[in-house]
Structure 1
Amino acid sequence: MGAQWELFERFAFVQENVEPELLLLDVRARPELQELWAALQARSLLVTAALDASGADVAQQLRAGDLSPARFREQWEGLGFTEATGRASTAADDWLEGLLRISRITTGQDRPPFGQVNMASRAQRISDFLSTTSPGLRDTVYDLGCGNGKFAITVAASSSARVKGVEYGQTYVESARRNSERFALPNLEFIHADVRDVDLSDGTAFYLYFPFWGEVAHAVARMLGDVARARDITVYASGPRHDYGEHFLEQVTQGALYLAPQRHAFADVMVLRSAAFA
């Protein structure tokens, strides 16, 4: 499925950047080029059909309970996180994005002033979050600024934890819900709201892939600090220290959270836990 997704994206890029009518005018004296374009379009349809069939098979296994969370996680993690030559992608990412039909980067017009362009989380980062937090039946995982839902859907399918994706952008939420409907995961929901208006008190693990900055990041860090004082939580925050990470570090200074040692492979990730329960 990963190879099918790579071809699908290549075909999509070509088709989105070509006007067929103008192309045929340009090559009207070159019938062999017209045949080549027709063959490319036919091949694109075959790849799309194959991708649909592969995704439908996995979705059916998840709906029927034939693919357990552990097996699902093994399936995508087992493909590996080595970047392909000439492509900023890995086999695990290609498989997940092909299954979910989620592109790496998407833009939207309904972002708040302190929101970011949606960047789908890398598979290796999702794997690290799962290893770091080990979410189970008693856990509720929040993906704050969930975008199109790659992280939230993957974690919900890879664990028994309750997963809640929170997103301000309506188009992103609609896309995430459409992407997840095929899998009918009972432990997954998407919340369309400003994160500052959401009750996070039931959360045990929080994931943030630099979804916002400035005053929104400051407010969310304070909210998580309040939750950390009441219960044992883990915050997995990825992003720059300036105007983002500094707000979480402020909660460390205030005694709500403590910062785990930095890891070389994830130098931009801060793993923070409740200081009161250390």
Structure 2
Amino acid sequence: MTEALDVAGEDVARQLRSGDLAAACFRERWEGLGFTEASGRASTAADDWLDGLLRISRITTGQNRPPCGQVNLASRAQRISDFLSITSPGQRDTVYDLGCGNGKFAITVAASSSARVKGVEYGQSYVESARRNSERFALSNLEFIHADVRDVDLSDGTAFYLYFPFWGEVAHAVARTLGEVARARDITVYASGPRNDYGEHFLEQVSQGALRLAPHRRDFADVMVLRSAAFA
């Protein structure tokens, strides 16, 4: 079974490298598998397919966590699909995955759209793993940046994805930076995580008039979708 999955995965990788598998078709392939959780385990067919293709684990604990950083937990396929539906990224867009971990979100979005995708990650082993995985697909619209997110110029971004990658002072600094970007251009922030010591920093930017908060949706109660208030 493992050999068969590897062969199938390499076939998909070959099609992506050659351009035979268009972004829309790749997205349709994994989304079409569905997001219904399998009985007895927190997994969906779409997640199993993506995780197998990307050769990643659902959770990675081998990297020491930096101050205010979290253990890497791979994004769920339904959440990635929701992000793509909300932002509809195209050739003129630059998507940032802040705290990208092993790269599941960044690679999937780059293969599913024509947008430029940049994954930013502090943990070196995560970045090395993400780069190795991405090399198999030769996605020209994807790059991974090994850096403290507070040191990265985010001014070219149009959409930002955060899957509770950090908290405290780091979250505060990032929210403040995104508020500054939002005042200069129309952006969308897709931030998932608890309100206390994480989401509250984004809500502060709402109170200061930089971002506006979209209505909550039942299926994604932990997600805040924020957009530039000046371009509303």
**Within the alignment, does 1:255 sit opposite 2:209 as a pair?**
yes
Q: 2:136 aligns with which of 158, 167, 182?
A: 182
Give the aligned residue type for 2:13.
Answer: A
- Alignment check: 8 A CA contact 2:63 2:126 kept: no
What are the equivalent positions in structure 2 for 1:144-155 lying under 5 Å apart?
144-155=98-109
- Alignment check: 8 A CA contact 2:34 2:44 kept: yes
**Within the alignment, does 1:125 sit opposite 2:79 as a pair?**
yes
Alignment length (residue pairs): 232
Distance 1:186 1:111 in 2: 30
Structure 1 residues 101-150: Cα deviation after superposition (integer angstroms, max 9, x where no partner):
11110013332110000000000000000000000000000000000000
Distance 1:197 1:110 in 2: 20
Q: 1:194 aligns with which of 139, 148, 156?
A: 148
Q: 1:210 aligns with which of 164, 169, 177?
A: 164
Q: TM-score, normalised by structure 1?
A: 0.83
Q: Describe the SS at the equivalent of 1:84.
A: coil
Which residues of structure 1 form unaligned runs of 5+?
1-46
Distance 1:243 1:90 in 2: 30
Larger CA Rg, structure 1 vs 2: 1
Give the aligned residue type for 2:186.
Answer: D
Structure 1 residues 146-188: Cα deviation after superposition (integer angstroms, max 9, x where no partner):
0000000000000000000000000000010011110000000
Between stretches 60-69 and 100-109, larger displacement belongs to 100-109
- Alignment check: 8 A CA contact 1:121 1:209 kept: yes
- Alignment check: 8 A CA contact 2:122 2:147 kept: yes
**Within the alignment, does 1:114 sit opposite 2:68 as a pair?**
yes
Give the aligned residue type for 1:228.
Answer: A
Q: Describe the SS at the equivalent of 1:92.
A: helix
- Alignment check: 8 A CA contact 1:210 1:237 kept: yes
Query: Which residue number corresponds to residue 220 of structure 2?
Result: 266
Q: 2:52 aligns with which of 90, 98, 102?
A: 98
Query: Which residue number corresponds to residue 87 of structure 1?
Result: 41
Give the root-mean-square deviation of aligned CA atoms: 0.6
1:208, distance to aligned residue in structure 2 (A):
0.1
Distance 1:109 1:95 in 2: 25
Structure 1 residues 239-268: Cα deviation after superposition (integer angstroms, max 9, x where no partner):
000000000000000000000000001000
Structure 1 residues 192-232: Cα deviation after superposition (integer angstroms, max 9, x where no partner):
00000000000000000000000000000000000000000
Distance 2:116 2:147 in 1: 18
Which residues of structure 2 form unaligned runs of 5+?
none
**Within the alignment, does 1:77 sit opposite 2:31 as a pair?**
yes
Give the aligned residue type for 1:215.
Answer: E
Give the aligned residue type for 2:28.
Answer: E
Structure 1 residues 35-88: Cα deviation after superposition (integer angstroms, max 9, x where no partner):
xxxxxxxxxxxx332122111100000011110000000000000000000110
Identity %: 88
Q: TM-score, normalised by structure 2?
A: 0.99
- Alignment check: 8 A CA contact 1:221 1:247 kept: yes
